[in-house]
Amino acid sequence: MLDIRVLAHLKVFSTVYLQVAGAVLAAYVAWKLGRIIAAPCRSSLRNLPAPPSPSWLYGNLKELTAAEARPLHESWVEQYGHTLTYKGLFNANVLYTVDTRALNHILSHSADYWKPPAARYGLSTVVGKAFGPAQIRELTDVFVLKAIELADYWKDLISETGEPARVEVIEGLSKMTLDVIGLAGFNYEFDALNVDGKTSELHAAFRVIFGKATNAPSVFSFLRFLFPPLRFIPTPSGRRANRAKAIMRNVGLQLIREKRADITGSASHGEKADKKHVDLESRDLLTLLIKANAGLDIPENQRLSDEDILAQVPTFLVAGHETTSNATAWALYSLAVAPEIQEKLREEAYSLPTENPTMDELQELPYLDAVVRETLRLHAPIPSTLRMAVKDDLIPLNTPFTDVHGQVHDAIKIDKGTTIDVPILQLNTSKVIWGEDAHEFKPDRWEHTPEAAQHVPGVWSNMMTFLGGPRSCIGFRFALVEMKALLFTLIRTFEFELALPKEEIVRQRAAIQRPIVRGEMEKGSQLPMLIKVHKRV
């Protein structure tokens, strides 16, 4: 047995240890808070024009999350100019600019904004090979197949009398695009459109991680971001997410091993992942990525490890699922609001004598192309994104700004660590660039692109939807062809009307721009429509 004096010493030691640990933690928190509080005063952006900050803790963030982004940003630009700053968490300065020269500088110098060049180059080189035009052409039949399955899914919900039925289209579009990215991305069948309600283990995990979106993160999530030690405090949602991530990791690694074994011709003797194969003849993106990674033209120091390849799985899922389903929902919304445009598109779709078009046939439909472009301009799924400077820089401007002291500047001095808000939607709908009708859905505008749009640094169609520069959206061709296949099939099959007045459908201000019903935010993304089967005369 331990001597009583030893126990007393242990008690004293544990008390002292806790006191020291508490003091160290308090000192760390005080140091961190001190840096955060002092940062706005030291920032190189402190003299830029800025809207007033209503809160020391949240800055302007509550304004940004409580309102649709476009009107608020437009009022800022009108009042403070093309280049300004607003306040983020703890009143930290965030650079906001619609100056196309500045944005081109930021996006084209990707090594200076967010990630070092070595890691990014290798990733782009390898992943880009899996998203080339030839690869997407081979996957078009998957897009069309699942679009037809969605049409059948909705037909089952429609009365045989021919009367319009109320359908919440987000649910079906989300299931369809998830099935597409499962097959086209991994040759994995999610079975999301399965009417029996049975789903795979991976689908269940995916719903946990990427389920209902919230409008804004909680205070505790902000604190966890600022103070990493708080991330070790377990939460119920965190435990569920960790279990789901473990499932995604295990299934993902198993798929990678199996595909590599198939590619090298070796037999896999381990247990197969929980999946159903569709005959894609090794056309799925994961197989193409593994093949490209093994190519002789990829230097050894740029090859991706299994962990690197696995890290692309969530990227494939989110990029190929969430953004496309919401973009297509906004397209259907716009077509329902403008029935004459809907009918014009339907007539063009019927000009093809097939229900199973190829990618080339879809690309040759000019009005479908214009509808997709106009949807992605007016309803960019991701309204904005952030960049962080990894070194001090001087950003050139087209339009000089006047600071709070009345001095005019033709460049912005940026400190390392500065956060920059890249205003995708604001640039896409700028009246300076697109004219006074910039907020209207007009596919015909694509017959003559405005001269001012030529200066927008986007990778596609003179808009910012897929960003620009080396870090632009690598899968934009995949998204475009999938969206065209969806609209082609649905517009030939159904007629669409809004089930509510258009004023009742508003944008949820979150990472992805989702339609919601006014006053029903707690129900998540919704777009109720009246749908009936179109009868071709």
CA distances from 377 to 342, 428, 463 (A): 18, 5, 7
Cα(280)–Cα(141) distance, integer angstroms: 10
E-strand ranges in 42-143 read 83-87, 93-97
DSSP sequence for 202-223? HHHHHHHHT-SPPSS--HHHHH
Residue type at position 425: L
The answer to whether 413 and 44 have CB atoms below 8 angstroms apart is: yes
Cα(18)–Cα(359) distance, integer angstroms: 66
Nearby residues of 460 by Cβ (< 8 Å), 6 or more positions away? 466, 476, 480
What is the number of H-type helices and E-type strands within the chain?
18, 11
The answer to whether 433 and 78 have CB atoms below 8 angstroms apart is: no
CA 455 vs. chain centroid, Å, equals 24
Residues, the chain, total? 537
Closest-CA residue to 179 (of 359, 376, 325)? 325
Nearby residues of 276 by Cβ (< 8 Å), 6 or more positions away? 188, 189, 191
DSSP sequence for 117-185? HHHHHHHHHHHHHHTSHHHHHHHHHHHHHHHHHHHHHHHTTS-TT---EEEEHHHHHHHHHHHHHHHHH
Instruction: Name residue 168's beta-bridge partners.
Output: 528
Instruction: Name residue 273's beta-bridge partners.
Output: none
Q: Taking the CB of residue 209, how many other CB atoms lie within 10 A of it?
A: 16
Cα(86)–Cα(94) distance, integer angstroms: 5
Closest-CA residue to 88 (of 228, 225, 214)? 225
Closest-CA residue to 81 (of 436, 440, 404, 450)? 404
Q: Is 504 exposed, middle or buried (0-12, 13-18, 19+ CB in 10 A)?
A: middle
Cα(530)–Cα(163) distance, integer angstroms: 9
Residue type at position 403: D
Q: Is 41 annotated as a binding residue?
A: no
Question: Binding-site residues for heme, please?
Answer: 473
Question: Binding-site residues, please?
Answer: 473
